[in-house]
């Protein structure tokens, strides 16, 4: 099975992979960049979810059956 991994997730993983070679003093900056990248991925996913609601989702103001 092949999993499509978004480029921003790959970039975030690459940043994390660099940590052992970097001084601890720059780790916060790396973590902030990773957070920024992953936050963007989650926002994109949230936008996709909002654009195409689940078929079993209840209309606004109603609870699913």
User: What pLDDT is stored for residue 23 in this prediction?
Assistant: 97
Query: Is the pLDDT higher at 27 or at 4?
Result: 27
The pTM score is 0.66
Per-residue pLDDT of 8-22, as tens digits, reads 999 999 999 999 999
Average per-residue pLDDT for the chain:
83
Q: pLDDT (tens digit, 9 = 90+) per residue, 40-56? A: 999 988 887 666 555 55
* pLDDT at site 62: 57
Q: Sign of dihedral through CA atoms 39, 44, 46, 47?
A: positive
User: Residue 4: its pLDDT value, please?
Assistant: 87
What are the backbone angles phi and psi of residue 22, rounded to the nearest 5°?
Answer: -105, 150
Between CA 45 and CA 36 the distance in angstroms is 14
């Amino acid at each position: 099975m092949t999993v499509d991994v978004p480029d921003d997730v790959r970039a975030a993983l690459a940043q994390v992979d660099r940590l052992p070679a970097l001084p601890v003093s720059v780790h916060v900056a790396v973590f902030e960049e990773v957070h920024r990248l992953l936050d963007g991925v989650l926002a994109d996913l949230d936008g996709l979810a909002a654009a195409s609601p689940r078929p079993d989702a209840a209309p606004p103001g109603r609870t699913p059956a």
